[in-house]
Amino acid sequence: MLDSSAAIQPNKQVKIENKFIDVGNFLSYELIDKTIQIQTENSFVSILFYERDIVRIVMNPNEVPSLKSSFGVIAHPNKEIYYHMEDRGNDLYIKSSQFLIIIRKYPLRITILDIKGRTIVRENSLGMAYTEENEVICFKEMDTRDNFYGFGEKTGYLNKRGEKMTMWNTDVYAPHNPETDALYQSIPYFITMRNGSAHGIFFDNTFKTVFDMKSSEDKYSFSAEGGQLDYYVLAGPTIKDVVMQYTFLSGRMPLPPKWSLGYHQSRYSYQDEWEVREIAETFREKEIPLDCIYLDIHYMNEYRVFTFNKYNFPNPQRLVSDLKAMGIKIVPIVDPGVKADPEYTIYLEGVRGDKFCKYIEGDIFFGEVWPGKSAFPDFTSSEVQTWWGDKHNFYTNLGMEGIWNDMNEPSVFNESKTMDLSVVHHNDGVPKTHKELHNLYGLLMGAATYEGMKEQLKGKRPFLLTRAGFTGIQRYAAVWTGDNRSFWEHLKLSLPMCMNLGLSGVAFSGPDVGGFAHDTTGQLLVRWTQVGAFTPFFRNHSAIGTSRQEPWCYNEENETIIKRYIEERYRWLPYLYTLFYEASITGLPVMRPVFMEYPKDDQTYNLSNQFMLGESVMIAPIMDPDTNYRSVYLPKGNWYCYWTDKKFEGETHHLIKAELDELPIFVKENSVIPLTEPKQSTKEKDRKIEFHFYLGEDDINCILYEDDGETFNYEDGESFILEVSAKKIKKDEWNICTTTIQKNFIPSWETVELILHGGSADTIVLLNGTPVKGQRVDEQLLRIEKSFDELVMS
């Protein structure tokens, strides 16, 4: 719907602040089981510690706050945290080893400082408040130096200062542009970075929430349409600390199966078995690596989930096993809408077993989606979760190991785009409206699906891809960013979107490579594939009616380059997989904004068109048509061009040339990057591991993580962890050491190659103390090849 000028009629501005009821003056406090319970004139406030560096504050207008958390939170308060509390007349002082919380009493205002006396958050003229209509809001002072990040999946630039953002899971087919606000994911959390230091706020409220970093110059606010004002202050002080604190609360991604990190091909839709086979065979004939093909909605019998259309897919089991033999997995789409059809088992069971979302009077909610009139499982009930999870044996019995959840906002074809807000969810005996639980629907469907698959796969890691989610979605699924378009602008937009998702706990994300809607072009597909090869999730997907988008659909030059970059993805898997391993332990993203590594450098605070992979690698793609130059910012230190080894100075901008076949990649001096040889699919065993040493002045090292890539045995320690270092003995003399930290899993590598970049003709290398001769490729490049068993395993 396009607006005309009538949309901008003059109206009277009501100052929003006037409608709020302030919490008012302090009345009394009590300590109950280490929770500080405060009563004010107009509210009740509780304060409790989760960790030394995480404090939770909950305000309830009507009664002592409930301390039950949303499904997004997995952590519990730590009652062992020691703090000291003092009533100083006009203020309450609460001091822990990380925080000083000062509660001004008249009226109640909270200021939190860190141990160095640095203000983290402060309330002044306005603090916590609510309205007659059950809205809750919290105002905090905004510093002129504050930059804001996180907020999950948002359009626009990296830094969200000056933005107002709504969290309300929404199916937005179009447009995705800077003023598109609510998208598919709701992650009510953000990081404030001030002067290189950081802290975070996680607002654990599942209603529609709004974060307003725009309307005022000296304060920001976060508010919700209902519920309690329940938020956590995360102390930082670094950005990485905040992400770890947030993912301590909301959980971390389990290690994904390796095949999910390969290249994936999708299309809405591959219409039948023969088309799927043809796609798979074409990849293999052309020797383009591929790990997965998706089945979009046309595989089903009239869009009934857990069915196949027998004409188009007569033998899905054989299809799956034949493709598996080629190293290719099949992932089917599963939407939540269940076709209202009394002859369809799922619907029958759902109605009989009381599994669907209902109105309070007991009538099932029906909505139009692809199957026509449909009912929606009520995932807020654990019984329904188990039922739905179990149903997935339909897919696992066919040999499938991954599922793609779409339309799970939930999306409904009506005016509001979703379920009726007055639907009352079962919620395990604590009924709540859809208005309150809407944002959880995708997360709960994800939990049901992941747990069901995990159970049926008997030790194998499931893969789940989802469109909708809430805080904590990383525990179950990778996130793709929905219906983008084949626009250069959307390629650009995907970088800050995925970087902010990464800061919001979702380390495994990516956009549809090539663009979903609209027709792509050969050049756009090339440039997008170059980027996709280095984003955490790498899937080419396109919509019905748009031009075909498989790697070979444009000219030969395009195809050759696309193939080369897909191969490059497989070459980088050891480095990437190690980053995923780290993410599973720390919650830190794989794809990082540059300021995460260089928080003191203000050139990086809104750097949205380049990103880092881990600590050492800078990806600076070309994202404009017919363009082969761009400016690249390199922070402090020296950088190597990955392709040529040419050195670049940091703390400055460079004009970089990159023809269509080149993605600018820079590796930080003093780092080691593990790579391997390209292969057709992750099913093939690597035979060689390479360590690339980018020499500078310092000693350097890296960790390499490896395991079987498909089971949960790593949880019992069946993994391989190697530390590789290069110590500078003196000028031109390096001692390379390998230390196995863990070897309960034996990797498939036969040879290990050590490649020194940036040495000189005189470079001498010792290997664990013994001099070795290498093969000099040129003045600055030295290669040493060894047997993996001899060097590492003995």
Tokens found for residue 702: 């890296």
Among 22, 273, 296, 708, binds ligand MIG (CB under 6 A): 296
Distance CA 502, CA 507 (A): 5
Q: Which residue, 183 or 333, has its beta carbon nearer to ligand MIG?
A: 333
Calculate helix-pair angle for 382-391, 441-456, nearest 10 degrees: 50
Min dist CB 467 to ligand MIG, Å, is 6
Q: Which residue, 163 or 406, has its beta carbon nearer to ligand MIG?
A: 406
Maximum pairwise Cα distance, the chain? 84
Q: Is 334 in the site for ligand MIG (CB under 6 A)?
A: no
DSSP string, 39-101: EESS-EEEEEEEETTEEEEEEESSSSPP-PPPTT------TT--EEEEE-SSEEEEEESSEEE
Among 204, 451, 483, 582, binds ligand MIG (CB under 6 A): 483
Choice among 171, 483, 567, 706 that is catalytic? 483
Distance CA 151, CA 180 (A): 14
Choice among 123, 409, 512, 567 that is catalytic? 409
Q: Which residue, 111 or 266, has its beta carbon nearer to ligand MIG?
A: 266
Min dist CB 406 to ligand MIG, Å, is 5
Min dist CB 510 to ligand MIG, Å, is 13
Q: Which residue, 305 or 724, has its beta carbon nearer to ligand MIG?
A: 305
Distance CA 323, CA 264 (A): 13
Min dist CB 267 to ligand MIG, Å, is 8
Min dist CB 351 to ligand MIG, Å, is 25
Calculate helix-pair angle for 239-250, 573-586, nearest 10 degrees: 70
Bridge partners for 87 per DSSP:
92
Q: What is the DSSP letter of 593?
A: -
Q: Is 332 in the site for ligand MIG (CB under 6 A)?
A: no
Tokens found for residue 204: 């654990």
Min dist CB 729 to ligand MIG, Å, is 55
Q: Could you give the string, one character per residue 383-412, with x where binding to ligand MIG holds by CB under 6 A and - elsewhere?
A: -----------------------xx-----
Residue of 755, 764, 751, 721 whose CA lies nearest to 739: 721
Q: Is 297 in the site for ligand MIG (CB under 6 A)?
A: yes
Min dist CB 415 to ligand MIG, Å, is 16
Give the SS3 label for residue 419.
coil
Neighbour-count burial for 106-119, b at 16+ CB within 10 Å, e otherwise: ebbbbbbbbeeeee
Q: Could you give the string, one character per residue 458-477, with x where binding to ligand MIG holds by CB under 6 A and - elsewhere?
A: ---------x----------
Q: Give the helix ranges, DSSP H, for 457-516.
A: 488-503
What are the strands, taking DSSP E only, across 387-532?
402-405, 424-425, 432-433, 463-466, 469-470, 478-480, 509-510, 512-513
> Among all chains, which residue has been given the structure tokens 């000056």?
162
> Among all chains, which residue has been given the structure tokens 């080149």?
662
Annotated catalytic residue 181: no
Tokens found for residue 267: 């299309």
Distance CA 661, CA 63 (A): 63
Q: Which residue, 417 or 647, has its beta carbon nearer to ligand MIG?
A: 417
Q: Is 268 in the site for ligand MIG (CB under 6 A)?
A: yes
Q: Give the helix ranges, DSSP H, for 288-344.
A: 316-325
Tokens found for residue 586: 């720390």
Annotated catalytic residue 378: no
Residue of 695, 701, 703, 747 whose CA lies nearest to 721: 703
Q: Which residue, 512 or 690, has its beta carbon nearer to ligand MIG?
A: 512
Q: Which residue, 304 or 592, has its beta carbon nearer to ligand MIG?
A: 304
Asked if 573 and 298 count as a contact pair (C-beta separation under 8 A), the reply is no
Binding positions for ligand MIG, 126-165, rule CB under 6 A: none
Choice among 406, 567, 582, 662 that is catalytic? 406
The CA–CA distances, whole Å, from 376 to 22, 426, 469 equal 40, 13, 16
Annotated catalytic residue 406: yes
Task: For Cα atoms 22, 23, 27, give the angle at the middle one, nearest 5 degrees.
Answer: 140
Min dist CB 173 to ligand MIG, Å, is 6
Calculate helix-pair angle for 556-571, 573-586, nearest 10 degrees: 50
Q: Which residue, 480 or 575, has its beta carbon nearer to ligand MIG?
A: 480
Min dist CB 511 to ligand MIG, Å, is 11
Binding positions for ligand MIG, 510-539, rule CB under 6 A: 516
> Among all chains, which residue has been given the structure tokens 């989760």?
50
Give the SS3 label for residue 790.
helix
Q: Which residue, 154 or 467, has its beta carbon nearer to ligand MIG?
A: 467
Min dist CB 407 to ligand MIG, Å, is 6
Among 36, 112, 229, 333, binds ligand MIG (CB under 6 A): 333
The CA–CA distances, whole Å, from 485 to 179, 333, 417, 490, 513 equal 16, 20, 20, 6, 10
Q: Which residue, 126 or 333, has its beta carbon nearer to ligand MIG?
A: 333
Residue of 608, 578, 538, 622 whose CA lies nearest to 720: 578
Q: For ligand MIG, which residue has the nearest CB?
A: 268
Min dist CB 404 to ligand MIG, Å, is 8
Asked if 434 and 427 count as a contact pair (C-beta separation under 8 A), the reply is no
Residue 384: phi, psi to the nearest 5? -65, -40
Tokens found for residue 447: 């939990």
Min dist CB 312 to ligand MIG, Å, is 15
The dihedral region occupied by 548, where left means phi > 0, alpha psi between -120 and 50, and beta the remainder, is beta
CB count, 10 Å around CB of 166? 15
Q: Which residue, 297 or 752, has its beta carbon nearer to ligand MIG?
A: 297
Q: Which residue, 230 or 296, has its beta carbon nearer to ligand MIG?
A: 296
> Among all chains, which residue has been given the structure tokens 């065979």?
281
Min dist CB 514 to ligand MIG, Å, is 12
Q: Which residue, 135 or 296, has its beta carbon nearer to ligand MIG?
A: 296
Q: Is 482 in the site for ligand MIG (CB under 6 A)?
A: yes
Q: Is 568 in the site for ligand MIG (CB under 6 A)?
A: no
Active site amino acids: 406, 409, 483
Residues that bind ligand MIG (CB under 6 A): 268, 296-297, 333, 406-407, 467, 482-483, 516, 541
